[in-house]
A and B are shown apart, each in its own frame.
Chain A
Amino acid sequence: MRKKALASIFSAIMLVMLFTTRGIYAESLKLDVKEHVFKNGLKLLMFEKHDVPIVCVRINYKVGSADERPGITGVSHLFEHMMFKGTKIFGTKDFAAEKPLLDKEDDLVIRISAERNKDIPDTKKIASFEKELEEVRKKLRDLVVKDEVFALYFRHGAAGLNAATSSDGTYYFCNLPANKLELWAFIESDRMKNLVLREFYSERDVVMEERRLRTENSPFGLLMEQLNAVSFIAHPYRWPTIGWRSDVQNITKAETAEYFKKYYAPNNAVIVMVGDFNPDTAIKLVEQYFSNIPSQPTPPRVKTIEPEQKGERRTEVEFESNPYIAISYHIPQIGHPDLYALDVLASLLSDGRTSRLYRSLVENKRIAVMAHAFNQISKYPDSFVLLAAPRAPHTVEEVESALYEEIEKLKNAPPSDWELQKIKNQLEAEFIRGLNSASGLANEIGEFEVLADWRYINTFMDKLSQVTAEDVMRVAKKYLVKRNRTVATLIKKEHGNGKAEETKETHKAGLPMTID
């Protein structure tokens, strides 16, 4: 046992270390996160780090695309965008004047949509509604204070301002100079209390452009969307977080507002603070601004359980791009003991130049330019994914069988001690390096809290260090089998066989989307 005297160094940033007898030195590194839960159910997680006067704050909501239903897929992500559009007191010169106009706008949009959906739409009627709508929007625009939330944050020195949505959570990021924490509390509590779905229709169009950019015109985005849609037949992980095209185009403001009320309550939220602040002061500040926001009934969990896969599934995507291949295997949800061995397995396969896929597919056989494996750890059972790009003239078929060859090897022989120890050393170093970034720590604490519990980070290191070569073999045999897999390939579309089209439903149900 070689204990290194690192504890004193770490304690300076509130890190507690435990030692075990394994490994090069400390195997168990732990974060000491302070926790406070307010009366309305809002949770505050705090980690002090006083080297630079900044504070990285996150507000995460335990809601993501898995909580949606067909017809409103993409609403969590759309809502993420809407949170930047202001409140009753931000982003508007006069909410009292704005409110009736917003109602009028919604009413006209609904009328236009209804008329368009009739078998024989009355084009004159539509034209007159549209004219009226344009006038309403002109008035609305005069009342808006453009992107004020963003401007205020920026002006006070906020950085890394953004938000993100995944299948399990929605994350609002903000890094501030340490003296501006109250600004954050004021704006964020108001967003939770008094949100206004302003500029809803144009933002929905923005999301459509985002969909075109990241999914419809991206070989990679398209492939992953199709892979998920075929891997899952029942569970909501089957739809993309950004939503299906027709749903995004048609989500109504009423549906969005209802969704907000149900899921974006303090009892479904967690605040994470990492940086230069005093926890007692922070608790008081959050109390002052957030405690009067009422909690809501506990939102339902997803009840659908993905049925066991009964045989290999395959799908092909034609696109104007060179080939790719993606393979997924169903695996359990966060907290399941097998996941740790699967993490090690993924690392073994594709972390670094000494990883198996790199050595075999990229370096020795030279049939691929990229080959990766990753574990998608989620709230509900998700998937283990392999992804590769063949090097011409090699084909996806060659790459696919080379991938299986590597997997079979793992089933038949245990990984070497060297490989396992390397992975453990890397995890430990990664943990230590991670402590250097307040922003990264805030993300990590917040993400694991959304999935399960931030303490997962602490137990994770222990559990991983206990993974044995036999465990790796066992999970390879258990999960990485033919009947549990889905294979998606992207193949090059011949030039001119059908153009990329906007689907027709756009027109039928389409609402006036832009203000000209």
Chain B
Amino acid sequence: MIINKYFVFSLVVIVYAFSIVHPANLFAQAQSHELGHERPAVPPVTSPESEGGKKVSQFKFKPLNFAPPKVDRIVMENGMILYLLEDHNLPIFNMVARIRTGAIYEPPEKAGLANLTGYVMRSGGTPSMQADKMNEELEFMAASVETSIDRESGNATLSVLKKDIDKGLKIFADVLMHPAFPEDKIQMRKDEVVEIIRRENDNPSQIANREFRKIIYDSKHPYSRRVEGTLESIEKITREDMIAFHKKYFHPNNIILGISGDFNKEEIIKKLNEVFAGWKKENIQFPEVPKVERQFERSVYNIYKDINQANVMMGHLGIHRRSPDYFPVTIMNFILGGGSFNARILSRIRSDEGLAYSAFSAFQTSQDLGMFFVSCQTKLESTNRAISIALEELDKMRNTPVGDEELAQAKETFMNQFIFRFVTSANIVGQKVEIEYEGLPLNYLETYLDNVKAITRDDIQRVAKKYLHPDEIKILVVGDKERFDKPLNNFGKVNLIELK
């Protein structure tokens, strides 16, 4: 109810930036160590510098006794993969589904098709239950069914009180299998998307995120597009396109389902068999997605916008989610710019010099190569200074080994925060679904701590050299370059991008 809150640290802004690119795993949602026990406190590598720090180092903490609950994995006859975790603490029930599909599979001239399909699947109702009726049914029982299709996956969720599980499941299954795609709801959503696209230029960070993607990826690659499509492509999408898109990907063998809450395993499987009765395995031909071409070249871009703060994004291609270097890269980035106040970039740009409220770096990951980027917002008069500091930090990361203490700080953060991966059953099941969908080893959580623990200073420097390229970085600034502290062409020839 208190809405106007100001925070010391902008998780809000950062989460927003991430959600635009990809919502995965760049935070210090860290990992502790072997499941079940808190690691015994490791003596710090160097002694603490402050009196308080010294006192804290004397503290003895009891080990945490916690064994994460075991999640069942079942493959149904129709090929659907289930993750199940019973939790009888509260009379609530949640399901989350991942469907292998995404905007990467839509033709470029129909950009926005996947996203539109994902939205209207739910908003348009089904032949057996019209949209208005569905809204009324769900909202009266304080339940929700939602669907969406993103760049590289489709998602569906159900949230319902225990007493309404049957009704909820029925609607959920109906929406997945038989969306109606009525013309009026399609047109309505198209109009909304058009307005959303029209409004994008209102917000500097939205401009930066959208344009940065275009700079990083070749225009022929679907990663370069926005999932909402363009004003032109939205026009061209027909109801038949949407029906075909849905039909192609929505089959039980293409779905991973995470189930948590107050239910009984045997009963729920029976119920799922009932609501999905007749839904059969189908062979799916996924369209070929071009490989991301590796190309690194320094370039500088400016977009004029009449604002008093520059919005900076700089970066280049990064890694994909299944990269064997994922762990060392994550820890390296934590030290560089992912670990908020502990990270070098924020420490210098914000804490030392007061140049920005938010400044961070991230490796956004995807099936193919994701992006590495640094983002910050600073008054026009310190734009050049902030960019220079970030570049210096990238250089330093490449050329100087990290300190023992700094590495220990990063690793311990990840290991001790591990418990927060298990705060709710929905949360645990959600991770299992994600892990399977991403094609990671199914014992990912069980081995995570060992993976973190194994990282050495050499690993950090090796991946820094391999994945950070300050000399070949692309720099994009939204803001009036006439008012920058130094000319932007200090960093290279400036390309101007006109806002449309």
Which A residues have a C-beta under 8 Å from some C-beta of B? Answer: 4, 6, 9-10, 12-13, 25, 51-54, 77, 80-81, 83-84, 86-93, 95, 141, 145-148, 150-152, 154-159, 161-169, 171, 175, 177-180, 182-183, 186-187, 190, 199, 201-210, 212-214, 216-219, 224, 240-242, 320-322, 352-354, 363, 366, 369, 374-378, 389, 391-392, 418, 421-422, 425-426, 428-430, 432-433, 435-439, 447, 451, 493, 495, 499-502, 513-516
Q: Are A150 and B188 in contact (CB under 8 A)?
A: no
Q: Which residues of A contact B422 (CB under 8 A)?
A: 52
B447 CB-CB contact with A under 8 Å: no
Q: Are A438 and B423 in contact (CB under 8 A)?
A: yes
Q: Which of B196-222 contact A (CB under 8 A)?
A: 196, 198-199, 202-204
Q: Which residues of A contact B353 (CB under 8 A)?
A: 202, 205, 514-516
**What is the interface of chain A mostly: helix, strand, loop, or mixed?**
mixed
B286 CB-CB contact with A under 8 Å: no
Q: Which residues of A contact B378 (CB under 8 A)?
A: 209
Q: Which residues of B contact A183 (CB under 8 A)?
A: 56, 59, 61
Q: Which of B9-32 contact A (CB under 8 A)?
A: 9-11, 13, 28-30, 32
User: Of all chain B residues, which has the CB nearest A493?
Assistant: B306
User: Of all chain A residues, which has the CB nearest B308?
Assistant: A500
Q: Are A9 and B56 in contact (CB under 8 A)?
A: no
Assembled-state Cα–Cα distance A242/B5 (Å)? 9
Q: Are A426 and B420 in contact (CB under 8 A)?
A: no
Q: Are B6 and A84 in contact (CB under 8 A)?
A: no
Q: Are B409 and A151 in contact (CB under 8 A)?
A: yes
Q: From residue B72, how far is it (CB to closest CB) to chain A in Å? A: 19
Q: Are A206 and B1 in contact (CB under 8 A)?
A: no
A-contact 0/1 string along B379-422, CB 8 Å cutoff:
10010010000000000000000000000010011011111101
Pairs across A and B, CB under 8 Å, 24 listed: A13-B90, A52-B423, A84-B341, A89-B51, A89-B55, A90-B53, A145-B53, A156-B412, A168-B2, A177-B32, A179-B63, A186-B52, A190-B52, A203-B354, A212-B308, A216-B309, A321-B202, A354-B132, A389-B195, A391-B192, A422-B139, A429-B161, A502-B308, A513-B354
Contact with B202, one of A80, A241, A320, A425 (Cβ below 8 angstroms): A320
User: A89-B52, A90-B53, A436-B92 in contact; A154/B409 too (CB < 8 A)?
Assistant: yes
Q: Which of B421-447 contact A (CB under 8 A)?
A: 422-424, 426
Assembled-state Cα–Cα distance A261/B341 (Å)? 27
Q: From residue B91, how far is it (CB to closest CB) to chain A in Å? A: 6
User: Of all chain A residues, which has the CB nearest B412?
Assistant: A155
The size of the chain B interface, using a CB distance under 8 A, is 97
Q: Which residues of A contact B198 (CB under 8 A)?
A: 322, 392
The stretch of B148-156, B249-257, B344-352 in contact with A is B344-352
Q: Which residues of A contact B177 (CB under 8 A)?
A: none
Q: Which residues of B contact A421 (CB under 8 A)?
A: 140
Q: Which residues of B contact A432 (CB under 8 A)?
A: 90-92, 161
Q: Are B65 and A53 in contact (CB under 8 A)?
A: yes
Q: Are A141 and B350 in contact (CB under 8 A)?
A: no
User: Of all chain B residues, which has the CB nearest A243?
Assistant: B6
Assembled-state Cα–Cα distance A87/B409 (Å)? 21
Contact with A352, one of B30, B139, B347, B357 (Cβ below 8 angstroms): B139
Q: Are A369 and B4 in contact (CB under 8 A)?
A: no
Assembled-state Cα–Cα distance A374/B2 (Å)? 10
Q: Are B416 and A164 in contact (CB under 8 A)?
A: no
Q: From residue A199, how far is it (CB to closest CB) to chain B in Å? A: 7
Q: Are A374 and B420 in contact (CB under 8 A)?
A: no
Assembled-state Cα–Cα distance A42/B318 (Å)? 50
Assembled-state Cα–Cα distance A187/B44 (Å)? 18
B307 CB-CB contact with A under 8 Å: yes
Q: From residue A447, how far is it (CB to closest CB) to chain B in Å? A: 6
User: A206-B357, A213-B357 in contact; A177/B53 too (CB < 8 A)?
Assistant: no
Q: Which residues of A contact B480 (CB under 8 A)?
A: 499
Q: From residue A449, how far is it (CB to closest CB) to chain B in Å? A: 12
Q: Are B195 and A218 in contact (CB under 8 A)?
A: no
Q: Are A182 and B59 in contact (CB under 8 A)?
A: yes
User: A242-B6, A322-B198, A435-B90 in contact; A152/B355 too (CB < 8 A)?
Assistant: no
Q: From residue B35, how far is it (CB to closest CB) to chain A in Å? A: 13
Q: Are B64 and A179 in contact (CB under 8 A)?
A: yes
B89 CB-CB contact with A under 8 Å: yes
Q: Which residues of A contact B203 (CB under 8 A)?
A: 218-219, 321
Assembled-state Cα–Cα distance A514/B485 (Å)? 13
Q: Are A209 and B53 in contact (CB under 8 A)?
A: no
Q: From residue B479, how far is it (CB to closest CB) to chain A in Å? A: 9
A-contact 0/1 string along B62-105, CB 8 Å cutoff:
11111000000000000000000000111110000000000000
Assembled-state Cα–Cα distance A161/B4 (Å)? 19
Q: A202-B354, A241-B5 are in contact. List 16 more A-B contacts (CB 8 A).
A: A91-B52, A154-B409, A157-B419, A163-B9, A177-B64, A179-B64, A180-B61, A209-B379, A210-B6, A212-B377, A213-B10, A213-B377, A322-B202, A376-B1, A391-B192, A392-B198
Q: From residue B142, how far is it (CB to closest CB) to chain A in Å? A: 3
Q: Are B352 and A141 in contact (CB under 8 A)?
A: yes
Q: From residue B225, how far is it (CB to closest CB) to chain A in Å? A: 22
B339 CB-CB contact with A under 8 Å: yes
B302 CB-CB contact with A under 8 Å: no
Assembled-state Cα–Cα distance A501/B307 (Å)? 8
Q: Are A320 and B341 in contact (CB under 8 A)?
A: no
Q: Are A159 and B2 in contact (CB under 8 A)?
A: no
Q: Are A205 and B88 in contact (CB under 8 A)?
A: no
Q: Are A93 and B50 in contact (CB under 8 A)?
A: yes
Q: Are B90 and A150 in contact (CB under 8 A)?
A: no
User: Of all chain A residues, which has the CB nearest B44?
Assistant: A155
Q: Which residues of A contact B89 (CB under 8 A)?
A: 9, 12-13, 51, 436
User: A213-B357, A447-B2 in contact; A53/B195 too (CB < 8 A)?
Assistant: no
Q: Which of B333-384 contact A (CB under 8 A)?
A: 339-342, 347, 350-358, 377-379, 382
Assembled-state Cα–Cα distance A502/B385 (Å)? 18
Q: Are B354 and A369 in contact (CB under 8 A)?
A: no
Q: Are B52 and A208 in contact (CB under 8 A)?
A: no
Q: Which residues of A contact B199 (CB under 8 A)?
A: 321-322, 389
Q: Are A151 and B64 in contact (CB under 8 A)?
A: no
Contact with B140, one of A152, A154, A418 (Cβ below 8 angstroms): A418
Residue among A171, A180, A213 with most chain B CB within 10 A: A213
Assembled-state Cα–Cα distance A190/B416 (Å)? 23
Assembled-state Cα–Cα distance A363/B65 (Å)? 52
Q: Are A204 and B53 in contact (CB under 8 A)?
A: no
